[in-house]
Structure 1
């Protein structure tokens, strides 16, 4: 059962919307391991074979906050990033934790500009994901592993970042 601050109605709406996308294999709203989230598993054939699995977790709060976590599972490595809207003392309310490791505490979150509507943020996320898998296909025989990846906020793939 979702937590009391989870926007269940929006979460279920997003689950239905995301389930209809061709790049999505399956969607589970409020699974036992993540009862406050909608978890989408993406189609692996959209990615080079070195990427074994891809997931996107969505959490929408009643007060307009959200958290979206994208994770690629590589051979023993992960490439991940996170979109957030919530009050905190360390960054802007709307912020982005860059890849390949959004939990890296040595890097600060980047200021972001997201649509006011939580549901519109889903479009921002999937636009970024399309850019990501397109970039992976540019050189599938010699991919840049997560441990070799250097994030560049000015590369054009992240138009929601604030200058």
Structure 2
């Protein structure tokens, strides 16, 4: 197996574990592991009941590879407006291996270098879920403030 082949091998065990873990969380409406339209991913649909009314959809999409690379995307829609951000751990020319692409469109030009744990489950616990919690809080504050 070449390095390129290894880098594209889906880490099924990690994604299966994360599907199980997300499935136990009350703010998760549904998990879809390796859906036919996105066969390398775990798609986590968040319950919009946790969001203020203008938000009509929120989800996470996770990709993990056996070489440790990963991509985690957050998607949010309201009134047809789609926003997204992304946590990445992979080699590329625009930033350090660990980096974050912020809202509203996860653009490469706005990417910020970060330092993530090497284990994706720890990245979910230490970076992604706290960010989602902060995002939901900020949305509620903007609605009531």
TM-score of the superposition, structure 2-length normalised?
Answer: 0.90
Unpaired runs of 5+ residues, structure 2, are 1-6
Equivalent in 86, 93, 107 of residue 90 of structure 2: 86
Shift of 1:121: 1.0
* Corresponding position of 1:120: 122
Aligned residue for 1:145? none
2:64 aligns with 60
RMSD, matched Cα = 1.5
1:34 equivalent among 33, 38, 45: 38
1:1-163 superposed matches below 5 A: 5-102=9-106, 104-105=107-108, 107-123=109-125, 124-140=127-143
**Could you tell me how far 1:79 is from its partner in structure 2?**
1.7
TM-score when normalising by structure 1: 0.80
Aligned pairs, how many? 138
Q: Deviations over 1:58-81 (max 9, x none)?
A: 001100010000000111211210
Secondary structure of the residue aligned to 1:25 is strand
Counterpart Cα distance in 2 of 1:49 and 1:61: 36
Superposed displacement of residue 141, structure 1: 5.4
Task: Answer whether contact 1:91 1:108 (CA < 8 A) is retained.
Answer: no
Which 4+ stretches in 1 moved above 2 angstroms? none
